Amino acid sequence: MILRGKVFISTVSIHKSVEIRNIFEPLGVTVVDFPMTECIASDQTPAIQNTISQIEKFHWIIFTSANGVKHFHRLLSETTNLPGIPSEIKIAVVGTKTALELKKNGIIADYSGLGNTAENLVKELIEKKLLQGCNILLPLGNLAPDSAQLQLSKIANVTRIDVYKTVKTVVSDNESVERIKNNHYDLVLFTSPSGVMNFADTVGTEYINPELRVASIGKVTTRAAEKYGLRCMITAETSTYEGLANEIINYYKLKN
């Protein structure tokens, strides 16, 4: 196998590490966990409680991540007596994993985006003229950009609530840092801009340079890496773990 014997340092959260391992370890890769982020529940502010208590006023809810689905349903159950999202509200999702998380709550999305970013999903919905004049709820993470909200605000009434927050993981194991310092690795895997930022803060600026061997899950993460002076050898076209794996395999095939 083309990846046998490679060492990949994974920066995904510890809760997601099993997904990375299940993809790469059967291919012969040694995966070293170096979690840079974790997602935790947002505080229940009066604004969030007020929005969720009036959920019936929304025509659409747009979920851009599985974390958004999970934490929104937690808030819904804590704030209301509803058994779930009212059936008259339409739901759009980004990607298969978001759709699967929604399905765990007994709901099939009314629209699943063809791409893997919030911007692509919003563009599709706007082009199909599905959202004009609608009341739209965006349950997001605290680090999500305002781009989707700004796009939608041109044609609809949009309410954003941050239902989870991404925080830096406290790192106690220095194995990954030592591997990087001693060049005992093949790739560092980045799957989010916040992971890049926390990695730079943890490893130190002296090791953040274009010589670091980096693979990125997508263009947004690659742009974040470039801001820190990193050069992504590999950027996945499809922003999923599977898409990242396929891009890495193709890279090593061409290299050999």
* 226-242 tens-digit pLDDT: 999 999 999 999 888 99
CA–CA separation, 75 and 48 (whole Å): 9
The tally of domains found in the chain comes to 1
- 135 burial (CB, 10 Å; 0-12 / 13-18 / 19+) is middle
Examine residue 179 and state whether it is found in any structural domain, yes or no: no
Q: What is the pLDDT of residue 9?
A: 96
Q: What is the pLDDT of residue 203?
A: 86
* 165-210 tens-digit pLDDT: 998 887 766 788 889 889 999 999 999 999 999 999 888 877 788 8
Q: Which CATH number characterizes residue 69's domain?
A: 3.40.50.10090
- 191 burial (CB, 10 Å; 0-12 / 13-18 / 19+) is buried
Examine residue 72 and state whether it is found in any structural domain, yes or no: yes
pLDDT band at 33 (very low <50, low <70, confident <90, very high): very high
Examine residue 82 and state whether it is found in any structural domain, yes or no: yes
Among 42-46, 125-129, 183-187, the least confident range: 42-46
Q: What is the DSSP string of 57-94?
A: G-SEEEE-SHHHHHHHHHHHHHH---SSS-TTSEEEES
The token duo for 201 is 């803060």
Examine residue 98 and state whether it is found in any structural domain, yes or no: yes
Average pLDDT, the chain: 91
CA–CA separation, 241 and 211 (whole Å): 23
The CA–CA distances, whole Å, from 96 to 48, 61, 125, 243 equal 27, 16, 17, 12
Q: Please count the CA atoms within 13 angstroms of the CA of 214 that sit on its side-chain side.
A: 29
Sequence-separated (6 or more) residues with CB below 8 Å from residue 109: 63, 91, 92, 93, 98, 99, 102
pLDDT tops 80 at residue 251:
yes
Among 85-89, 118-122, 124-128, 206-210, the least confident range: 206-210
Examine residue 136 and state whether it is found in any structural domain, yes or no: yes
Examine residue 96 and state whether it is found in any structural domain, yes or no: yes
**Structural domain of 154:** 40-166
- What Rg value do the Cα atoms of the chain yield, rounded? 20
Q: Is 250 left (phi over 0), alpha (psi -120 to 50) or beta?
A: alpha
More confident residue, 238 or 62: 62
- Percent with pLDDT over 90 in the chain: 71
Examine residue 215 and state whether it is found in any structural domain, yes or no: no
Examine residue 58 and state whether it is found in any structural domain, yes or no: yes
For the entire predicted model, the pTM comes to 0.83
Measured in degrees and rounded to the nearest 5, phi and psi for residue 234 equal -135, 130
Q: What is the pLDDT of residue 210?
A: 86
- Count CB neighbours of 136 within 10 A: 24
